[in-house]
Amino acid sequence: MNLDVLEGYIEVRGKYPILITALHGFGSDYYRIVVRALKKYLTIFGYIKKLNSYKELEKSLRYTSSVDVYTWEIAFKVALAEDLWCVLPTLSKVDYIDGIDIPDYNLNKGYTSITPFWKRIEEIVKSEKIMVLIDIHGMKNIRKWPDICISTRGLTTVSKELVDRIASFFRVQGFKVAIDYPFIGGAFIATFGKPPVVEAMAIEIKRNLRFHGSKVPKLMGGAIRVVKEYLIRK
């Protein structure tokens, strides 16, 4: 991390070969309300293509939310508490950055592999011999969905043993856990997850578990200790 320039991310140095991030952890939660209102308006009145900002407006409506609320804080606090490597974005997925030829800054898409964020992750993984990457995400309060989803791209980015250990930990705490449902994971874990050398997963946390005063950081710290034990025995 270069303290003299803007790079689109901040970094925490760690002791253990584990890196935690929250790709969609930065942005405005109010964005989702604005998008809902705008979509309702456009449904009623239709697109007004004469507007100068039409193209920008259409692009913005690709996403219903700009942030997985509180996930940035979860990753940051867990990194500090457990002495992990951590890289966190300071841009939201709906942002567009001049000079970088990509449609938006959704860091879970393959086209963002050219960003300083991805390149820094690559550097840390190689130089610090990172063995496990964890991407914290958030999901909606849909009744049929689990409390926690561990995304693994069909167990291609992480070992079944590690997934089973983490899932068991969450279940013992009383949470309903699913693997790859409702999300299988994006380009980030697909790119960096190369077991058994480097294992990568996303952990999706339901919205009703993320609120002011929630002890989710403590819960995630427990999951990280499971990962540490796994690495010791590996």
d(CA 193, CA 199): 5
Helix residue ranges per DSSP H, 62-154: 71-82, 116-127
Residue 124 has pLDDT above 90, yes or no: yes
38 and 126 assigned to the same domain? no
Mean model confidence pLDDT for the chain: 91
- Reported confidence tier of residue 28, pLDDT bands at 50, 70, 90: confident
| Average pLDDT score over residue span 123-128 | 98
* Rounded Cα distance, 147 and 164, in Å: 16
- The CA-CA-CA angle for residues 166, 230, 204, to 5°, reads 25
- What integer pLDDT is reported at residue 56 of this predicted model? 60
Same domain, 121 and 137: yes
Structure confidence at residue 98 (pLDDT):
86
Residue 114 tokens, joined: 């050219």
Give the whole-angstrom CA distance, residue 133 versus residue 200: 5
The answer to whether 203 touches 163, Cβ cutoff 8 Å, is no
* Same domain flag for 78 and 107: yes
Q: pTM for the whole thing?
A: 0.89
Does 43 map to a domain? yes
Answer yes or no: is 4 within a domain: no
Q: What percent of the chain is predicted at pLDDT more than 90?
A: 76
Q: Kindly tell me if the per-residue pLDDT of 61 is higher than 70.
A: no
| 127-166 as b/e: b if 16+ CB within 10 A | ebebbbbbbbbbbeeeeebbbbbbbbbebebbbeebbebb
Domain match, 152 and 55 both: no
Indicate left, alpha or beta for 180 from its phi (over 0: left) and psi (-120 to 50: alpha): left
The three-class DSSP label of residue 219 is: helix
Residue 209 pLDDT > 60 = yes
Identify whether residues 178 and 116 lie together within a single domain: yes
162 in a structural domain: yes
Pairing mode, strands 9-12 and 85-89: antiparallel
